[in-house]
Every structure is written in C-alpha cells, then in structure tokens.
Structure 1
C-alpha cells in the first residue's frame, strides 16, 4: 500500500465525491414526476449495474480471492442497502445539499456503535465533535410544532444505518482485499435489492433505464476511486476532502432543479462540517 502520494490521493477523493453526489442527483431524477420510480427500485438499479460493472472488471483482472466471511458481508450489505435506499428516498423530499449534509453525521453513529460493540474508548474531543455534528443535523431537520421535515428524518435514519455499515466494514477491511469486499457487497446487494423491488416494480422507461445504468456505474466508479485515495494517503489526511460531496451536491441541485439552499441549510451544513472536521482532526492527532 503506497501512502506517499497525498496530492494524488486528494485528486482521487475529490473525483469520488463528484461521482457520489452525481448518484444522488440521478436518484432524484429517476424518482421525479408522477411516473417516477420507487426508491426501492432505484436502489435495485444501483446495485444491478454496479454488480455488472464489477464482475466485468473481475473477468478482465482475474483477481485472487481469499475465503470470505459471508455472515459479516451479509450484515454489511444489508446495512449498506438500507442506507442508500434511505438516501435515495430522502432526496425526493429535500434538497440534495440538505440530505448530503445530514448523512455526514454517519461517523457520529459509527462512533456510538463502536463504543457499544467494539468497546472503543472515546475522549472529550470526539464527544464534542459528535455533539456539534448532531446539532447541525437538528438544524436541518427544522424541529418545532408541526415543522419536522420528513425527508430530513429519513436522511438521518439513513446516516444511522450507514454508521452501522462503517462499524461492520471495520471487521472486513483487515481480513479481505478491497476488490473482493466490493464484489461480494454488490453481488449480495443486487439479490437483496431485487427481492425488495419486486413489491413496487414498474417497468422503467428507456430514459429511466439509462439513468439507472449511469447511477450504478457511477457508484462503482466512486467506490473504486475512494479506495484508490485511501491507498495513497492516510485516512486521517484524505477523509476531510470527502466533504466536497456537499459542494458538488449543491451545484448539481442548482444546475438541474434550480434549488438554492436557504439560511438554515447553510447554517446546518456548516455546523455538521465543523463537527466532522473536528472529528477528522482529532483522529489525525490520535494516529
């Protein structure tokens, strides 16, 4: 693993964030209008075309696999499928920037779960960072009598599930190679997502098929770029650049839907970013 190319790592991470934000934009497009697809079906398209992309790469690269821990893979995939489906549902109700910002609270949930299940010790700085990030999420949820934003609550639930996935993924990354993890994840994911989508299935239009194909391939590309970034620099250095996803999501949402974040959106996103960057800084100091 080469950790000596930080600028290349940053380039890979920024490219990954552009693709990740692009997948949420495509999910919003696929679900828009009266004939829009259900989030379960959008999630199925994401896993289907990512599955095809990774297996096509495997046929060319012919990687060597070790024996996988299928129980851990299944738990991780269930959490990942639930998280991405929740995210795709949330963007149908709230701006991409708000949904993206709220999902950045997933490290908070990962920290809490790591305390419970991995018995990790958490100091006052990480608790402070978690509290700041969660306060930002509350701003975006817009609490008050009759003013809770359902889409924001869905995004917060997605962040919680994504935090679960992070904790489970920690158990895999030290045992198996990244490509094997991605291949198994998308193979299991397409089965789970297809079963769930059968209950809401409608035949997509040619345009929707194209959107789903682009979404799945963009997600596969983002995952690959993300791993390449982590291979070239320490996680504590490169992870803060993942917050560029919020910038791309805001630009995409304005370009396609002319959505302009309001003052509360800017405030909430800023608070979450502050907490996230504080947590990343503390992780770097600990490392």
Structure 2
C-alpha cells in the first residue's frame, strides 16, 4: 500500500486573514437583512425559515457552479465525513438564525448568534489542539462584553426566538471547527462546492413540506441572500486557511456593526449610545488581537521556536 503524506498547511498570513474575515462580515450582515425581509411580510407573505435556507443554498450553489465552470477545479479526495458534518452544522445554524430574526430585533438576533466565535475559540482547544494564551482570551473577552452590551440582557431577551439564536451560535461555532479542518486539507472552491451541493439536497428535503411560491421580490431577495452567502463563505474559508481559528474568528463580531450600518442606511434606524459603546468595545477587542499578533510574529522572527510561548 502506498502511503500518502498529509497535505502541508497553507502559509499563515494573519493580515490577509483579518481582511478576508472583515469582508465576509460585510456579506453576512447583508444576508441577515435579506432573511429578515423574507421571514416577515416586507416583500410578500412570509416564507418559512427552512425555505429561506433552501434558497440560500440553491442560489449559492449555482453561483459557485458558474465560477467552477470558468476555473474548472479538480475535485480530489474530499473528506465526505467532514463535509457532511460541516453542512449539517451550517444548515442548522443558518436555519435557526433565519427563524430568530423573524421574531426579534435584527440587532438582538445578530448579537446572540454571533457569539459563535466564543464557542469556536473554546472548541478549537480540544478539537484542533490550538493554544489560546492570555492575550487572545482577553481580546475575546472584550469582544464578548461588547456583544453583551449590544444584546442588552434582560427578561425580554431570553425568549424562544432568542434561544433559537443561541442555538445558531453554538452550531455555527461547531461548524468553525469543521471548516478549519477542511481548510487545512482541501482547496477553498472544492469545500464550497461540496458544502453547497450537500446543503441543496438536505434543505430541499427539509423544506418540501413548507415550500410556497415566492413573489418576484422574494425571488430577488433569495438570489441576493444566496450569492452574498457564497461570497461570505469564500472569504471565510480563505481566512480560516491563513490563521488560527482562535485568532481570526473573533473578527466576525464586526458583523454586528455592519448590520447596524445597513439598518441605518436602509431603514433609517439610528443606533443609540448603547449600540455605539458596544460596537466600540468590539472593535477594541479585535484591534487588541491584531496588535498582539503582529507583535508576537515580530518577536518569533528573532527568537527560536523552542523558546516561544503562548500569546
């Protein structure tokens, strides 16, 4: 039997990883707005969250298929076990999120569900063997405090819809682990094609009993949702391939800020002082993480690896 060596990890580039993650948050915030419009009566009779998830996977898959038709990637040795696990977690997470935003304010649902970087960082320790030092813990804690401020914890927050968003946070945090494992083994386009193909099948079966004919505006929103999600996934996969999951995932908190900006630009909803304070704290946590990573990488260029410590 010929033994093959495991693929070597891609070169780490934290700066590029952060830029890609920030771009991903721009698209992800847009998908939550589309989901909100589709799950309410903004564009016509509200659609079931399973149907919204189905549309997200279908349009994302065809968008990626168009790219694949041009690039003609070679699909080689996909780890179907990881792909299926990742797809189940991702489909569950986005469906719970889409259900939540139809019943509670977008800012609340986004704040709760995007606690997934905390889950992702915690799960990266046992599942990925990543070492999370005091600076990363501190930066993640700062971002977490900012998210809690935006969440405005109170008796009205912890309702069924909020629990749906919390479930979305956990399942998407678990999805981060599978994404990182796949990003270290397979090309990004291969990961995205397989994930969205599996998602099309899974969600089409799940949504069959709830499917209703969308209006023309809803078709457009479904297409926009799917294409933005495909763009977000592309940025996200490439970010995860270029830095530790525990380092790069906290930057996805910026989705909260972009969601607020979209809300202001489209619905003229002006953030109050609580939202501004929470957003500033989140940015501060991400900035601390980026600064410390830069300092540490500079130090490691001068110090032997055997003497390096956790950061």
Report the TM range for the smaller structure's normalisation. Answer: 0.7 to 0.9
When Rg is computed on C-alpha atoms for both structures, the one with the higher figure is 2
Gaps of 5+ in 1: none
- For residues 195 and 122 of structure 1, the distance between their equivalents in structure 2, rounded to whole angstroms, comes to 40
CA distance 1:278–1:104, change in 2 (3 Å): farther
Contact 1:240 1:277 in 2 (8 A): no
Other-structure match for 1:41: 51
Return the TM-score normalized by structure 2.
0.76
Write the mapping of 1:33-182 to structure 2, written as runs, cut at 5 A: 33=41, 35-145=45-155, 148=158, 150-182=160-192
Moved more, 206-215 or 102-111: 102-111
Q: CA deviation at 1:207?
A: 1.8
Contact 1:109 1:164 in 2 (8 A): yes
Contact 2:254 2:282 in 1 (8 A): no
CA distance 1:222–1:29, change in 2 (3 Å): same
CA distance 1:140–1:211, change in 2 (3 Å): same
1:204 aligns with 2:214: yes
Other-structure match for 1:30: 38
Contact 2:85 2:178 in 1 (8 A): yes
Other-structure match for 2:275: 265
- For residues 120 and 263 of structure 2, the distance between their equivalents in structure 1, rounded to whole angstroms, comes to 28
Return the TM-score normalized by structure 1.
0.82
Q: CA deviation at 1:64?
A: 1.1
1:250 aligns with 2:264: no
CA distance 1:284–1:155, change in 2 (3 Å): farther
Q: What SS does structure 1 have at the residue aligned with 2:78? A: coil
Q: CA deviation at 1:158?
A: 1.7
